[in-house]
Amino acid sequence: MHVEVVGAGSPLVLLHGWALHGGVFAPLVARLRDRFALHVVDLPGHGHSRDCGVPLTLQACAEAICAVTPPAAWLGWSLGGLVALEAAAASGQVRALAMVSSVPRFTAAPDWPHAVPPAVFAQFERDLARDYRGTLERFIALDTLGSPHGQDTLRTLRAMLFARGEPAPEALHAGLALLEASDLRHVLPGLGMASLWIAGARDRLVQPRGMQAAAALTPDGTFAQIAGGGHAPFLAQLDAVEATLVPFLQQAMDRPDPPARR
């Protein structure tokens, strides 16, 4: 699995979302590299990890990343948040957890109303088989809906989409399946580290109320909402994300390492 290490300081692992790659974090990396050693991951089937051989499952990804990174804070955006949450629950290596536009369950249920209908991801799965590139374009367009800087963010995401080559089709299907079916709510009460849940106020994919509910289920969770933010607030609202994230990481990394879980 491809992991690029940039900067110096306390280690921070960065995990991207579906269909993209670690390059999406370039603006955030530029802001943080003088304070953190950033371990920027390309998930299996994506970017430079397109042919890495690790299956795109939560357990396999978490274990593979833990094997090549030191004990660190982890930041997961969207799909990457599921991997980060899996590692936080299963490994003593995650010293602090930052979830950006990510929740333990992405689809709505009677006891989890602040999420998208399961049919949304099922439709993306059907569309993916018919129109690969068009489906990716529509998905990243959803990332920017509601943001006052949506067009600028959309241009950035489009430019990055294939910057490291096309993602593997099987990884795209596996990633959608994870978004549709994963439910990690049961691990939240047992998290042994501080967690920060950063939501974009205008996010149409991950509702802020869902992130707030997830934070409330953790022993040491903090919810933060970025005004005007869409699904990728670290692009259009970088100043606000930095101002929220850095103090959390600095405080959390001063704490003792959490005990191993599961």
Residues annotated catalytic, as ranges: 78, 203, 231
Angle at 22 between CA 215 and CA 182, to 5 degrees: 45
Asked whether 173 and 122 are in contact (CB, 8 A), the reply is no
Cβ-based neighbours of 207, under 8 Å, separated by 6 or more: 114, 115, 199
Structure-block tokens of residue 73: 């804070």
Tokens 């999420």 sit on residue: 115
Using alpha carbons, select from 101, 122, 96 the residue that is nearest to residue 194: 96
Cβ-based neighbours of 104, under 8 Å, separated by 6 or more: 82, 85, 182, 183, 184, 185, 187, 188, 214
Sign of the dihedral defined by the CA atoms of residues 109, 110, 112, 115, in that order: positive
Q: What's the CA gap between 114 and 39, in Å, rounded?
A: 31
Asked whether 73 and 94 are in contact (CB, 8 A), the reply is yes
Using alpha carbons, select from 170, 164, 159 the residue that is nearest to residue 137: 159
